[in-house]
Each structure stands twice: as C-alpha cells, then as structure tokens.
Amino acid sequence: MPLKPLLTVAALALSAAFAPALEAEMPKSFKNEYSTRIFGIKVTVTHELSDLKNEGQQLRFEADSWIGNIEEISQFHWNEGVVQPQKYFYKRRGLGRDRDAELTFDWEAERVTNDVQGKSWDMDIHKNVQDKLSYQVQLQKDMIAGKDNLVYPIADGGEMKVYRFEIVSEERLNTPMGPVDTVKVKRSRDDDDRATFAWLAPKWDYLLVRLEQREDGDSHTINIDKARINGKTIEAF
C-alpha cells in the first residue's frame, strides 16, 4: 500500500485520542505519539489537544516521515453536547503533489466555505455535520454514552460524506505503557475492500491505542508510544 493513503487513513482515529464523559470536561491538553514502519520507512504520528483564546479547542494531527508530511487541524466548540467545528486545515508536503485545504463553518447561515488548492465554493450544512477530525471526538463521546448508532456526516472537499462505525469486540493489548483493555471498532465502507480498525481504551476516555488498515491482503498498523494528559505522562494502564 502506498504511504500517502495510509497516512491519510491514520487521521480517522489518531486525530482525537480523547473525548469527554457525559458530565466531564475535555482534558485541558494532551499530546500523544504513535509510530510505525511502512516499507522500511519510519513514520511518526503526533496528536495534540490545546485550548484556544476564544474558549474553543484545537486538535492537531501530524504524520511525519523523511519522504513527506501530513498535518491536519480542527478548531471547534461544543454546542449542547455536540461538537461544532469552526475551522479545518489540511496540508500535505511531499508524497507526490503538495496539497492545501481550508474549511470555514458559518453556523448561523448553515454554510461551509471550502477553499481547496486556491479554489473556493460553499455548501449547505446542518447541526450535526463534522469535519474530517472533529467527528472522532463526537464518536468517542457517543461510545462513552453507550450509543451504537455511530454514523457521522462529514463535510469534505465540497461533498457530504457519511462515516459509519461498528463495535467489533473487546481485546487486551500489550503496549509500551503496559497491558490495556480495549474496544475494537471498525469503520464500515460500502463497495470498498479496505478495512480500518481502531483499538480504544475505555479506562482513559477511549484513548486510541492501535490503528490498523487492511487492503488487498496487506496490513499496516500504527501503535501508541507515549501519552500525556494535562501535562502528566501515562506510565501504565
């Protein structure tokens, strides 16, 4: 499998390692690191949450290797328990053709402006629409609430896409931070031979522990190396 599709798929789960419990607040900050090797090339993934001055929050995902880099940023607020994205940024360098995209959400007008490679257009949205990072926070919040209807409309490049997830099983994994009990989740796709799995740790508000993509008989996995919550390192589960 080419490196670019795998790095892009990594954003499906790595971009939001934590979500709030029903009566709890989001962590003030976190910084998690993951790694893998693809065709012998080391890939390091960094995932961060930070506060914004306007009382919103920002999620940042970056996958980095010597042949290229992908960075995504989602800035969002909470609105009646629903994640409400405000801005989304995407930047790819190397891995073939460079690419830049920016989405700006106007919730009063129920419109999102897409600016991709210098071309701009608008699209209608509704309350529950997410961007390509923010939906994962909503996914984890819904899992904490015990919901099983894990379906999310995504504004993506001028199109409205739908991401669907299903809970597959419970598994215990060994990690650099010790053994951890996880819930295995699969992203479902229609008419697609790809399968993406994420292992999430309920004890840590569904911290992402492992991500795997399978396609055409190949399998690639990204594993957690380090995690910090509110400045404190997680040393063992």
Give the pTM: 0.82
Q: Which residue has the higher pLDDT, 7 or 109?
A: 109
Residue range 32-52, pLDDT digits in tens: 899 888 778 888 999 888 888
The class of domain 3-233 in CATH terms is mainly beta
Cβ neighbours, 10 Å, residue 16? 26
CA separation for the pair 145, 9 (Å, rounded):
25
> Residue range 136-161: average pLDDT?
86
Sequence-distant (≥ 6) Cβ neighbours of residue 175 within 8 angstroms:
209, 223, 224, 237
Residue 220: per-residue pLDDT: 81
